[in-house]
Structure 1
Amino acid sequence: MRLHRNLCFAVIDGLHKIFNEGEYADKVIQQLLKRDKRWGSRDRGFVAETVYEIVRYQRLYAEIANVKAPYDRDNLWRIFAVWATLKGIKLPDWKYFTDTPSRKIKGRFDELSKIRKYRESIPDWIDELGSKELGETEWTKEIAKQNEQADVILRVNTLKTNKKDLQLKLQSEDIETETLPNHPYALKLKERANVFMTEAFKDGWFEVQDASSQLVADFLDVKPGMKVVDVCAGAGGKTLHLASLMENKGQIIAMDIYESKLKKLKIRARRNGVHNIEMKVIDSTKPIKKLHGKADRLLIDAPCSGLGVLRRNPDAKWKLQPEFVENIKQTQQEVLEQYSKMVKSGGKMVYATCSVLPSENQKQVEKFLTSETGKEFSLIKDKKILAHKSGFDGFYMALLEKK
């Protein structure tokens, strides 16, 4: 493989924004990919995948390169040289690579790979927290899986098509997919591709959604004609899935504290052919109180640490702070306490997170069930998904029924 100067410069610029300016990796990559119209899919793939890989292994590569954050551009080139050397890529004779100690890099890599926090490139506190909550063996397997690149998974929009027809349509656009057992609406891409440029996407035949995330709407046990509230809807991946499970019948109230996210949902709903969603911004306690005792079903896709989706957001491990994790547990309790009041007698709710920590999952449900509001509920079933067992994102979901 030959390194091209303009692609390498794009990678260095991206890393500078992510590591030194705190920008989000996915946003930075979107900007980088628009940088040169002459780049083909292979060029864009190189930029995106190299940036993600170096972000994923920042701690390991920086340790080998013997550099400390904040990184100046020379330090970023050193980190890049470590990445290239470990990939077996021949370094060109550019000034940035003079005196790169290839043999020393490989020796240091072998040495550091014996220590989990370096091998998996995670902050000390996350490593300690993970092993404390999941146990050494489980955490070692889980964090290794969380460092692999995630597959691209699609969810078929059953309001417009079916899995077979979607597969054929994508095939006509040179995109091969395969079905996944136990995931009735999922298709996995055999090779990475920009699916957002396809006719099938523009026609609203599918959404990109991880296989684990697709199980949440199903878990809520919705039926056409119900009144369903999705209280942390965000940009609405699960809301749209609920709409298709309800065959566009009944009412879904999508709520979020961020109006900007609900605006994105509005655009997505139009493309999906969904028209049973009403959107409400949670700007006070009023919208919640108005719905007390009214919902047949309630989905609480709670804010969380995101430690189940590090494969998708590798920069999150450097942005996450211990105090955030502590504070988010408090928020989860409050959300359960306040929003559960919307469920009517005999109604059901799902509490879900994309975290693998029991303290954000089972423990939160246990705590809620002993509270004054929670005493009215009983746990029907719950599901814990770990990435190293499923091959997909880490998730938790609990189905509760109001007596």
Structure 2
Amino acid sequence: LDVDVGVDFFGTRLSAPIYLGDMSFGALSGNPNIAIAKAAEEAGVVAGIGEGGLHPEVAKYRNIVVQWASARFGMDLSLLRAGLAVNIKIGQGAKPGIGGHLPGRKVVKIIAELRKIPEGSDALSPAPHHDIYSIEDLAQRVKALRDLTEKPVLVKVAAVNKIAYVAVGVARSTAQGIIIDGAGAGTGATPLSVRNHLGIPIDYAVPVVDKWLKDNGARDGFLVIGGGMLYSASDVAKLIALGADMANIATAALISFGCIMCHSCHTGGCPTSLTNMIGARPDLDVEWASRNLKNYLRALTRGLKAILYALGMDDLKELAGRRDVLSLHYADEAVAKTIGVELAEEGEIAFYQDYQPVVPREVYE
């Protein structure tokens, strides 16, 4: 199909509006990190490396975004200057308001060296950045990182009920974009009560952020990336129509090369070698994993093109912010008004949950 779904990422042309991230070396076992970076570069998308430091093999790839997180794990000039951009992590969808925890059993020698902590000790990330308590503090950090690296700076936050205020503040800090992580995002480093019950869906956060940025004259040139339970081309298309520029996909990437969702990430005993202890055998085959991930990205890209084609569009820009092509199901009028999407008209056969099969009359009685 002659449909362009590419986007410009600060001077780099991507083949699709996909950001793979951010999963750290330590949370993942090394080879998955390499496979993600390799697939991102070869497929023409971009990948975030997470907060665990820069794996030597991942450093060879250009289409990566490095992360400046609250614990400053592995921070040095070479890390900050790698890749295409820097991401200041304030929060994430799976654990809004709290920090991170990599259990000591997973902090083996190479992880300890990269994170600059004792081997076998728990790697704890504080909830806040202790040098960022206001938009003014954030603006100073953004400027310092941009001056130091000469790269664009993004800010990653969790989707919460005041996300529109946060996004406008991030834009006024002179950051070049925001990564909004919605409820339902995955991690192996948070209590279930937090992961399953805090935050708001990305579908509700993005349109409000898009509107507020426009109302405050801060939308032009400001990148909005949204994530949280995104898997398919239709998920990406809907997010673009709601007002995002790109979609953040993480768990789906892992599923493409073996994750079975057994929720054992934190144990160091992943049965598919994705989040197991570093150096444990068998290791994930990088070539196999990157090939599978590229196949998934290729299918997702083709699906996105098909959706645009069906809508009579030949460029992704035509879908941006087109909330008028969407309808909202299973929500009330207040939500529909807030996000700017019309409430769907649901009839008896609108959804399979409501469907009752027709019983024909006995005409021969």
Larger radius of gyration: 1
TM-score by length of 1: 0.27
TM-score by length of 2: 0.29
Q: Which has the higher contact order (CA 8 A, sep 6+)?
A: 2
